Amino acid sequence: MSKHFRVPGRLSIKLEESGIPVSTVLERAGLPPTLLDQPRILVTTEELFALWRGIGQVSRDPAVGLSLGTETKPEHFDPVVLAALSTGSFGEAMRQVARYKQLSCPEELVIETDGDEWSIQFRWLRANGVEPAVLTDLCFAWVLDIARHGSGTRLTPIRLEFVRPRAHEKPFERHFG
């Protein structure tokens, strides 16, 4: 297991496309101004959380994590998504993602099944605090994006349970169905 997370190189582009100034995010997060300019961006859990807290603070969109966790162009998929989409089922795809995370970063994807119902939880192994809401939103949108691309349908979860208090429900209801 690595001690670091890899931040996708396209993040700064997606932020700018969403009207979120990267320099303001990095300043708010207390991170170096050139962090997202590097060819390979590696951050600690603390830095990752600071980055996503900064995005949440700077964005005017309370559901920004949903849009950042959804990719419409297959040519922009990360290698782990391509590997997941190359599997035969959603279960295999999630096991592939879980294995990737186990090998590449201090995060665990906990998958439980009960009949036809799946439970997926993201566990941050080196976290000293609660993950930023924007990051949680991104993670669940990302899993749903994999399921929708893999099935070629607009799947909707049976339910989505957040530990945090409910706020801004409408964008989430629209996104997750």
Phi first, then psi, for residue 3 (nearest 5°) are -90, -5
For the cut 80, the answer to whether the pLDDT of residue 105 exceeds it is: yes
Q: What domains can you pick out in the chain, each with its CATH number? A: 5-164 (3.90.1520.10)
Residue 7 is inside which H or E element, if any? strand 5-7
Q: Which residue has the tokens 């932020």?
A: 15
For the cut 70, the answer to whether the pLDDT of residue 1 exceeds it is: no
Mean pLDDT, residues 120-139: 93
For the cut 80, the answer to whether the pLDDT of residue 30 exceeds it is: yes
Q: What is the CA radius of gyration of the chain?
A: 16
